[in-house]
Amino acid sequence: MALVLQIVVVLLVLVGLITTIMSIKNWHWAQMLLLLSIFFASLAVLFLGMEVFRIHRNLRAGMPAKIAKIEDLEEVNEAFLHGTRDAEVISRAFAGDPFGGEVPYDAEAEGRMPGMGVWRSRIQDLARDRGRVWRDVKAAGPVDPATGRIPVTLPAPRPHGLEKDAIVFAFEQGPPNPATPDQGRQFLGEFRVVDEPGEDGVTLESVQRLDERTGGRLVRSATNPQIAWRLYETMPSDRHEMFAGLSEENLKTLLPAATINEYLRHGKEATPDDDEYHRAAFDDEGKRVALDDAAKVKELYDRTLRDYAYMFSELLRQ
């Protein structure tokens, strides 16, 4: 088709030139010049129009596929915003990285893909349960050995929101060292905000009496420029959900070797050697019942949750 069009254009050019040249005897040279200008301008417009047509054709060739892709993405975005039960949309939503086709929720328990409103509400619930957290806290001065007081700076948020007499729990920020706990990041203690807080900092005072061990640890942490702290409004709670699904390798990077087995066994079949404090009974519907309930059909190992605030308090008293 393109070749035929080129031949037609060439023939028109030849005919036009021949006709114009043969008419020179009857026309003034100015008329001839005007006619040639119009002729060549028409050719230029023709070629430019053909080029525009070619560009538009190439651009529009992929439009149907792109429109279909946009419609798919809009459908997926709508599912993320408001949730959906459409299995096809759900599979497309989590097909790529980092999910690799696996949905990040319990599909059987949810019954549908939760929307952003649900996730936002759950995150707010988690944040409410956890309490406020101040990260990247740094010591702004030395520890007073007589009072156990230390000034600290809080880079965010502004204002920091801590008031006088508020209680916070201080942890070193960073990964633990299960093999050698003294070499990893540790819990520093329970502190009270004393004096009137400044715009970007407060003065903390240890609630427990500092001895040589706890005081020395606090001084080493405060004087190490590589270590930052995290202050928690409430002591972080122990929950089974926090460790659910973690592999043994991941648990080894978080927990001492002596405790890993109970985390791995949680939710698995109990053995006769397990005491009553580590056994949970369930009926045929999966509901938890008493160990001596007649409806009991199975017993699973149940890891005892730890009250960290009580445990740390007792350890500091020793």
Going residue by residue through the chain (318 aa), what tens digit of pLDDT does each one get?
Answer: 567 767 777 777 777 777 767 766 677 777 777 777 887 788 788 888 888 888 888 888 888 888 889 998 999 899 889 989 888 888 888 887 777 778 887 788 888 889 999 889 988 888 888 889 999 999 999 998 888 899 999 998 888 889 999 999 999 998 887 777 777 788 898 999 998 778 889 999 998 888 888 888 899 999 998 899 999 998 888 888 888 878 888 888 888 888 888 888 888 898 888 888 899 899 888 888 888 888 888 989 999 888 888 887 777 666
**CB of 119 closer than 8 Å to CB of 209:** no
Residue 212 has which token pair? 């040589």
- Tell me the C-alpha distance between 136 and 150, whole Å: 16
> Up-side HSE of residue 119: CA atoms within 13 Å toward CB?
12
For the chain, residues classed under CATH 2.40.30 are: 131-232
Residues sharing a CB contact under 8 Å with residue 299, sequence separation 6 or more, in sequence order: 269, 270, 279, 280, 281, 282, 291
Average model confidence (pLDDT) across the chain: 85
* Chain center to CA of 53: 46
Q: Which of 314, 310, 306 is nearest to 256 (CA)?
A: 306
CA torsion 136→140→144→150, rounded to 10°? -40
Residue 46 has which token pair? 């023709």
| Architecture, CATH, for domain 131-232 | Beta Barrel (2.40)
Provide the strand spans (E) within the chain: 133-139, 149-153, 167-172, 187-194, 201-206, 229-232, 279-282, 288-289, 298-301
Residues sharing a CB contact under 8 Å with residue 35, sequence separation 6 or more, in sequence order: 20, 27
Query: In this structure, what DSSP letter does residue 276 have?
Result: G
**CB of 280 closer than 8 Å to CB of 172:** no
User: What local confidence, expressed as pLDDT, does residue 1 receive?
Assistant: 54
Residue 218 CB coordination number (10 Å) = 22
Question: Burial code of 249-277, b = ≥16 C-beta within 10 A, e = fewer?
Answer: eebeeebeeeeeeebbbbeeebeeebeee
